[in-house]
């Protein structure tokens, strides 16, 4: 009788959880006894860390052949309910039908989503780069600006949020606008950040570099600026300032996927489930990984970030442990003591840092070369070959410079 592993999500954490689970079953000689099912709308890995870029080509590599190569089944649909009491999940399939999947171990890997507070006009008038279809919608909107009469609003983009995504989006935007509206257009790209400084979560060490890049790429930064409303013609800040803008891009904050709330456990302020060192939730049989997991990255108090970098390792560990617990392999604790960041800063280049205090190691073109390698090679799925995939799916495998 098969033991069933069900994985919700085929993002970075879900993909690597599936590969690590398949590898663990193979190592234990139990591939024929462990059935692994990934549930997601499509067997594709959306390159979410790259959706701020102008070109969206190649942003959803197919996973079907890879899943087939390692013996993982993909079910096209979404998990709507987790029934932990009877160890099953309720799936709404893409064709509209419903089914219940029983599991012996369940791995929640549905990631995070942009936070959308009840701000007037946010839903109706803003754009974001959180999901592929949203990034495509923004691209089509930007392309259409050229057909509109010239005005201050047409020529202005407001990026709300001065965090990682906001900075990467904003520094790309002047060049993208010039390509659409012409190099002589009077452009304005404004970043609004509610905190007193730009990139508050990035810390003080890299801030001078980030500020230099923002200034050099032509991004106007307004800090201590909460947003009050968005309309068809622009934004109004909480202190009454109005900025005319036909394009408002929202990047202000992330929250764990709502499915995490269905797991009866402690959650952090981002909605993530607090996990033990093996990424088990307090609910028996349920693992959490990626952006839905609050996990200790080291033994001195640092916690995994909601990032692709950590999702890769979190996925490997959760997938391995879910199977290891069933087949008698030793469990592997999650640990990721080396933390790096690589922040794209548009035509200025990129910033690469190491350590939780983000010591600057590479900037400008050297940083950009590393960012290109990360974005176009390192985060992409392996070839659809079992041996190649399993070589990268060990629970202690970490890809960092």
Write phi, then psi, for 286 (nearest 5 degrees).
-115, 125
Give rounded-to-5 percent helix, strand, coil for the chain.
35, 25, 40
Q: What is the CATH number of the domain that holds 147?
A: 3.50.50.60
Interatomic CA distance for residues 286 and 5, integer angstroms: 10
* 107/137 same-domain check: no
Q: Which residues contact 314 (CB under 8 A, 6 or more apart)?
A: 13, 279, 289, 290, 293, 295, 304, 334
Q: Does residue 32 belong to any structural domain of this protein?
A: yes
Over residues 132-137, mean pLDDT: 98
Structural domain contains residue 373: no
152 and 224 in a single domain? The answer is yes
Q: If you average pLDDT over residues 284-307, what whole number do you get?
A: 96
Confidence of residue 400 (pLDDT cuts 50, 70, 90): low
pLDDT digits (tens, 9 = 90+) for 102-116: 999 999 999 999 999
Do 244 and 127 sit in the same domain of this protein? yes
Q: Which range marks the domain in which residue 227 is found?
A: 122-200+209-250
| Distance (Å, whole) CA 137 – CA 125 | 12
Q: Which of 130, 110, 129, 162 is nearest to 271 (CA)?
A: 110
Write down which residue in 338, 358, 380 finishes a domain. 338
Report the domain count for the chain: 2
Q: Is the pLDDT of residue 117 over 70?
A: yes
Q: Kindly state whether residues 236 and 262 are assigned to the same domain.
A: no
Q: Among 304, 338, 372, where does a domain finish?
A: 338
pTM of the model: 0.96
Q: Mean pLDDT lowest for which of 16-20, 257-261, 337-341?
A: 337-341
Statement to judge: residues 246 and 258 lie in one domain: no
In a domain, 39, yes or no: yes
State mean pLDDT over 357-370.
97
Is pLDDT at 401 greater than 70 in this prediction?
A: no
The alpha carbon of 260 is separated from its chain's Cα centroid by a whole number of angstroms, namely 16
For residue 397, the model assigns a pLDDT of 86
Long-range contacts of 389-393 (CB under 8 A, 24+ apart): 389/19, 389/22, 389/23, 389/66, 389/69, 389/70, 390/19, 390/22, 390/23, 390/26, 390/70, 392/19, 393/16, 393/19, 393/20, 393/22, 393/23, 393/316, 393/319, 393/320
Residues 154 and 232 in one domain: yes
Domain termination site, one of 250, 280, 308: 250
Is residue 268 situated within a structural domain? yes
211-260 pLDDT, tens per residue? 999 999 999 999 999 999 999 999 999 999 999 999 999 999 899 999 99
Task: Name the token pair of 54.
Answer: 């102008």
Cβ burial, residue 89 (10 Å; 0-12/13-18/19+) = buried
Asked if residues 212 and 171 have their Cβ atoms less than 8 Å apart, the reply is: no
What is the pLDDT, as a whole number, of residue 82?
98
């Amino acid at each position: 009788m098969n033991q069933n592993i069900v994985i919700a999500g085929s993002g970075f954490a879900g993909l690597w959880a599936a590969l690590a689970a398949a590898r663990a079953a193979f190592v234990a000689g139990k591939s024929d006894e462990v059935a692994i099912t990934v549930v997601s709308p499509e067997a594709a890995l959306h390159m979410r860390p790259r959706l701020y870029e102008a070109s969206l080509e190649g942003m959803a590599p197919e996973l079907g052949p890879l899943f087939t190569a390692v013996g993982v089944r993909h079910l096209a649909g979404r998990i709507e309910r987790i029934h932990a009491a009877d160890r099953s999940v309720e799936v709404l399939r893409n064709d509209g039908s419903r089914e219940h999947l029983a599991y012996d171990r369940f791995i929640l890997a549905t990631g995070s989503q942009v936070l959308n507070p009840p701000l007037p006009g946010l839903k109706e008038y803003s754009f974001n780069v959180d999901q592929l279809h949203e990034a495509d919608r923004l691209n089509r909107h930007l392309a259409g600006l050229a057909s509109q009469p010239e005005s201050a609003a047409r020529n202005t983009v407001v990026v709300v949020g001065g965090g990682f995504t906001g900075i990467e989006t904003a520094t790309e935007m002047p060049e993208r606008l010039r390509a659409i509206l012409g190099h002589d257009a009077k452009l304005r790209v404004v970043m609004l950040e509610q905190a007193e400084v730009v990139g508050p979560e990035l810390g003080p060490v890299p801030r001078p570099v980030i500020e230099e890049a923002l200034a050099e790429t032509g991004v106007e930064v307004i800090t201590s600026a909460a947003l009050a409303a968005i309309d068809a013609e622009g934004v109004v800040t909480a202190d009454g300032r109005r900025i005319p803008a036909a394009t408002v891009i929202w990047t202000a904050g992330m929250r764990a996927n709502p499915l995490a709330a269905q797991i009866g456990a402690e959650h952090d302020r981002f909605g993530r489930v607090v996990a033990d060192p093996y990424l088990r939730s307090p609910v028996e049989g349920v693992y959490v990984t990626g952006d839905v997991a609050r996990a200790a990255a080291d033994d001195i108090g640092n916690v995994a970030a909601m990032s692709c970098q950590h999702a890769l390792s979190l996925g490997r560990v959760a997938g391995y442990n879910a199977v290891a617990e069933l087949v008698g392999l030793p469990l592997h604790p999650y640990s990721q003591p080396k933390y790096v960041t690589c922040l794209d800063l548009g035509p200025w280049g990129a910033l690469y840092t190491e350590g939780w205090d983000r010591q600057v190691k590479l900037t400008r073109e050297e940083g950009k070369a590393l960012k290109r390698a990360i974005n176009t090679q390192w985060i992409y799925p392996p070839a659809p070959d079992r041996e190649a995939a399993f070589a990268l799916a060990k629970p202690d495998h970490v890809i960092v410079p």
